Amino acid sequence: MRLVLEISKIDYNSAENGAHKNKQQTEKVLYIIFEGLLRALHPIMPFVTDELWNQLPKANTKEALSSILTLNYPIANLEYINDKAEKEMDFLMRLIRSIRNIRQTYNIPHSAQIDVIFQAAPEHETLIKQYVHYIEKLTPVKLAAKTTTTDMPDRCATDTIDKTVIYIPLSSIIDIQKTKDKLLQRKQSIEKEWRRTKQIIESNEFKAKAPPEKVAAVEGQLASTQTQIDHLEAQLKVLN
């Protein structure tokens, strides 16, 4: 939902370039969604939703109404359901999240403009090129398509979204050694926690006296720390 709102801001602000139709359409869609959400939430949040609804500009059919209580509960309009659009939006959001996650993983400043190389199936490549301005503004990156990985730069962070693979060269945008040192320190700390949890799990006294839910919780903690270790090892492998 947050990404959808971020995308809507791009369309709304495009009015500065003369695209007033985009601004009007975005305003209308956001109004319909928000007004419908207020009606849907009214039974469980009556006072807040009524106050917010009364702050909204009203359509002619609602001007005479003094409370959201007098309106019907929202009903889904099947005409607005578009499976193709939902599938495309789902892919775009996962692509954007993937790039953002890589930036966060390697502590790449948000202000740093980075390159993202992608290899995609034809349908995804067309979609990426169609909505490239959204992706580049929301990440922010510079996208470039590539048909082969034979001359791919070293030390690339990678991820796969469906049939699309993205590569982000790291050497020119982060301090490799400093990042490796931080990751190693983090890994050592988690490994210490893993060994401590492992000792608890393997204790006969713990298994005999602890309730099942406590045993399950500690086992879950062990699995979580192992996942973190695996993830850190994968990051370090990229930087070697």
pLDDT one-digit tens code per residue, 123-155: 898 999 998 988 988 888 888 877 666 667 788
Which pLDDT belongs to residue 49? 93
- Give me the half-sphere count of Cα atoms (radius 13 Å) on the Cβ side of residue 161: 22
Q: How far is CA 98 from CA 76, 91, 101, 104, in A?
A: 31, 10, 5, 10
Nearest to 132 by CA among 19, 28, 10, 18: 10
Which pLDDT belongs to residue 193? 94
Q: Which of 96-100, 154-158, 170-174, 204-208 has the highest mean predicted lDDT (pLDDT)?
A: 96-100
In our burial notation (b when 16+ CB lie closer than 10 A, e otherwise), range 189-202 reads ebeeebeebeebee
Confidence of residue 8 (pLDDT cuts 50, 70, 90): confident
* % of the chain residues with pLDDT over 90: 28
Nearest to 42 by CA among 73, 77, 76, 75: 73
Residue 13 predicted with pLDDT over 80: no
Backbone angles phi, psi at 156, to 5 degrees: -105, 130
Which pLDDT belongs to residue 123? 85
* pLDDT tens figures, 20-75: 666 788 888 888 889 999 999 999 999 999 999 988 887 555 555 778 888 889 98
Which pLDDT belongs to residue 46? 92
Residue 19 predicted with pLDDT over 60: no
Tokens 């962070």 appear where? 157
Predicted structure pTM score: 0.75
- On average, the pLDDT of the chain sits at 85
Considering Cα of 206, then 207, then 211, then 214, what sign does the dihedral take?
positive
Which pLDDT belongs to residue 64? 59
Confidence of residue 80 (pLDDT cuts 50, 70, 90): confident
Of 100-109, 138-147, 215-224, least confident by mean pLDDT is 138-147
Whether 153 and 171 have beta carbons less than 8 Å apart is answered as: yes
- What does the DSSP 8-state code read for residue 103? H
Radius of gyration of the chain, Cα coordinates, nearest whole angstrom:
25
Whether 114 and 103 have beta carbons less than 8 Å apart is answered as: yes
